[in-house]
Amino acid sequence: MFYLSKIFWLLVQPLSLAFFLAALAALACLLRLSRTGASLAGSSALILFVTLYTTTGNVLLQSLEDRIPRPQGAPQTISCIIMLGGGVENEVMSGRGGVEFNAAADRYTETLRLALAHPEAKILVSGGDGSFSGRYEGEAGASAAFFTSFGVQPERLIRENDSRNTWENTLNTKELLAREGLKDCLLVTSAFHMPRSLALFSKAGLGVTPWPVDYRTSGALTLGFDFTQPSLNAQNTSTAVREWLGLLGYYAAGRIDWPF
Closest CA to 24 of 49, 5, 3, 41: 41
Question: Which residues on adjacent β-strands are paired with residue 189?
Answer: 212
Question: Which residues on adjacent β-strands are paired with residue 186?
Answer: 81, 209
Alpha carbons within 13 angstroms on the beta-carbon side of residue 169 total: 28
Residue ranges of the domains in the chain? 2-65+229-252, 80-213
C-alpha triplet 203, 209, 212: angle, nearest 5°: 100
Give residue 70's identity as a one-letter amino acid code. Answer: R
d(CA 212, CA 218): 14
Look at residue 66 and give its three-state secondary structure. Answer: coil
Sequence-ordered list of residues with C-beta below 8 angstroms from that of 260, at least 6 positions apart, any chain: 247
On whether the CB atoms of residues 82 and 187 are closer than 8 A, the answer is yes
**What's the alpha-carbon Rg for the chain, to the nearest Å?**
20
Residue 181's pLDDT is 94
- The CA dihedral of 67, 73, 204, 138, to the nearest 10 degrees, is 90
d(CA 105, CA 109): 6
Tell me the C-alpha to C-alpha distance, in Å, between residue 192 and each of 4, 113, 205, 260: 23, 21, 21, 13
* Segment-wise mean pLDDT, segments of 10 residues, the chain, 260 residues: 81 96 97 96 98 98 96 85 92 84 95 95 87 67 90 95 92 96 94 97 95 97 98 98 96 92
Burial class of 237 by CB neighbour count within 10 A (0 to 12, 13 to 18, 19+): buried
Closest CA to 209 of 217, 198, 219: 198
Sequence-ordered list of residues with C-beta below 8 angstroms from that of 225, at least 6 positions apart, any chain: 53, 54, 55
Residue 98's pLDDT is 83
Residue 260's pLDDT is 84
Residue 49's pLDDT is 98
Residue 127's pLDDT is 86
CATH class of the domain defined by 80-213:
alpha beta
Residue 136's pLDDT is 67
Closest CA to 103 of 235, 199, 237: 235
d(CA 65, CA 225): 21
Closest CA to 122 of 179, 54, 63: 179
Closest CA to 176 of 131, 122, 249: 122
Cα 154 off chain centre by:
26
